[in-house]
Amino acid sequence: MMTSISMQVVLGLCLGIIISQSSPPTWLYIIDGKGTIYYSKNISLTVIADQQQDITCEAYGARPTAVLEWRLPDDMAVVHQDQSDNIQDSFYISQKAVTITPSRDNHGKILSCIASHQELSENLQYTVNMNVHVLPMSVLLFSTGGSHSQSRLIYVQEDSPTSITCRSIGSFPATELSFQLESGNGLGERILPNISSERSILDDALFDTEGTVILHLNTVHHGQYIKCFASLEGSVVELVYAKVIVYGPPRGIKMTFLGDLYDDIETNISCKAVNGYPAPLIHWYIGSKNLTEDSSLNISENTAARYDAESTLTLIPTRFDNGKQLLCRALQPTTFQARSLNQSLVLNVTYAPVVSITVRRRTSSKANGTTELVLICKADANPLVTTFVWFCNETVVSKDTNNYRLHETISENATLTSSVLGIQNPLSNYYSVYKCTAVSDYGSGSAVFDSLYLYLIPNAPSGFIIHQHQTRSSSLFVAWKQEFIIGK
C-alpha cells in the first residue's frame, strides 16, 4: 500500500513539473467547414455569398492554453462561439469557431485569427483573403434560337445539325460551362462549348455566360439526357439537364398481303413502319388516287420510346387496277421539314376475259373485187387468253372451209390477245349470229355480232367536189374508217 501511494505522488509531481513548463503555440491555422486546413501565406478562402460558413481558428502546442481572437469585417454577419481547449501529449489544442454569412461586398476582405500567449513577445496572426463566389441566379438549357427558358425536353431533327445553348445568369466570377451527352450506359464524354461572357443585364457587377454546342444527333440518342455543368473556379455549382427527343421518319417500312388479288374481290393489305417519332401517319395511293380513308391505323410504342405504326387497307381491286402501282407512304407529322418513307408494289389483278368484236369490210384488189368481212375478237384477261372459239349460229367455225379464214392468235400486250375471223363473200341476205368465246386459266368471256349490223356499216364516201378557192392547202386527204365494235 505504501509503495502504491509513493508511486502516485511521484507521478503527480512529474506531471505538475511538465504542465508547469510554459511554451507558446507552435502552429496557428484556419480550418473551413469542409475540413480544409489553411496555413500558407497569401491564400484565399472561398465562400459563397449569402450562405453561412463555419470557420475555425486553431492553435496547437501551447502550454498553458493560448487565447484566440477573430478579427472580421464589420459589415459581415457573424456568430461567435466559445473557445474550446483540449490537452494532447501534455500540450493544448485550442479552437475558436465563428459562423459567417458573407455578402458579395466582402469579396477580397481579410479574415484574421490572433493567438496570444504569455510566452509570446508578439501575438501570432494568420490571415486569409475572402474569395466570395456569387452563384448564378439561374442556369438555362434550351435549343438555340428558341425560347430562352429552361426546357426539360429538347426536340431535334435526326441527322441535322442542332445548336444547343446553356446560359448562366448573374454570377461572380463568370461561370465555366461544359456539356455532357449520355451514352447508352448512362455515361458520357464532356463537350466543351464555345463560351462568351459579358456583364449581366441585371447587375453589372455580375456576369452572364453563354455556351453553345452544335451536335449531330440520331435515333440512338433518343430519350437520353444532355447535361450542362456550371462551375466556378473548377467547382460545379449547378447542373441542369434535358431529355433529347429525336424527330425522324421510321427506320423501315414493309408491305404484306396474303394470297392473290382478284377482280372485284375484297382483300386486306398491311403496311408497317417502325421506329419513328412522332408516331408516323400512313397514306395509301394507287397512282394519284388517295385510298387512305379505306384503311385503319394502329400505333404502338416500342422499347426505345419511339413508335411503330401499322395500317391495314381494305381494297376491292378491279381489272383497271392491274399493272398500276400501289404505294404505302409513311409520313413524319412534324413542323420540321417533311420526310417520308415509301414502299410500293405493282398490282397483279386476276380477272376473267373481257371480250369485244370489231368489224370491218375489206375489198380484194383483184379484178373480181371480192368483198371479205373481217371480225376481230379482242380479249383483255389476266392471265392471258389461251383459246379462242368462233361460232356461227351456235356452230363452231372451222378454219378449213371455203367461207372462213381463221388467223393465228395474236398477243398484243401483257393482257390483250386477239383472234381474226375472215368471212368470204358474206351473204348479207341471210341472218347470222357470230360469237367469239375467249378462254383463260381463270375463266372465259364472250362477245356476239349480229349480221343485221351489216346494214349499219356505212359505205365509203364518193363523188365529193373540191372548190379550190375555198382551201389554202395544196393537198386534200379524206379519211374513212369502215369498222365498229360490238361488245359483250
- 287 HSE (CA, 13 A, CB side): 6
Mean pLDDT score across all residues of the chain: 85
What are the residue boundaries of the structural domains of the chain, listed by start?
Answer: 19-133, 138-247, 252-347, 351-456
Give the SS3 label for residue 35.
coil
CATH number of 252-347: 2.60.40.10
Write out the three cell numbers for 333: 407529322
Angstrom distance (rounded) from CA 100 to CA 65: 25
pLDDT for res 10:
43
DSSP assignment, residue 299? Answer: E
Angstrom distance (rounded) from CA 221 to CA 1: 85
Phi, psi of 373 (to 5 degrees): -95, 125
Q: 378 near 389, Cβ under 8 Å?
A: no
| Secondary structure element (H or E) that encloses residue 55, with its range | strand 53-62
Q: What is the CA radius of gyration of the chain?
A: 51
Please identify which residue in the block is written with the cell numbers 387468253.
Answer: 385
Angstrom distance (rounded) from CA 440 to CA 409: 13
351-456 CATH choice from 2.60.40.10, 3.40.50.970, 1.10.357.140, 3.40.50.2300: 2.60.40.10
Angstrom distance (rounded) from CA 57 to CA 59: 7
DSSP string, 312-372: EEEE---GGGTTPEEEEEEE--SSSS--EEEEEEE--EEEEEEEEEEEEEEE-SSTT--EE
138-247 CATH choice from 3.40.1390.30, 2.60.40.10, 3.20.20.220, 1.10.3720.10: 2.60.40.10
Question: Model pTM greater than 0.75?
Answer: no
Write out the three cell numbers for 160: 441535322
Query: When comparing pLDDT for 418 and 8, which is higher?
Result: 418
Give the SS3 label for residue 2.
helix
279-332 pLDDT per residue, tens: 999 999 998 899 999 999 999 999 989 999 999 999 999 999 999 999 999 988
Angstrom distance (rounded) from CA 331 to CA 344: 15
Q: 327 near 295, Cβ under 8 Å?
A: no
Fold match flag (252-347 vs 351-456): yes
Per-residue pLDDT band for 190 (boundaries 50, 70, 90) equals confident
Is the model's pLDDT at 76 over the cut of 90?
yes
199-242 pLDDT per residue, tens: 998 899 999 999 999 998 888 889 889 999 999 998 999 999 99
- The third-level CATH classification (topology) of the domain covering 19-133 is Immunoglobulin-like (2.60.40)
Angstrom distance (rounded) from CA 284 to CA 271: 9
Write out the three cell numbers for 364: 380484194
Angstrom distance (rounded) from CA 176 to CA 150: 18
Q: How confident is the model over 92-116, as a mean pLDDT?
A: 93
Q: How confident is the model over 243-265, as a mean pLDDT?
A: 90
Angstrom distance (rounded) from CA 209 to CA 167: 6
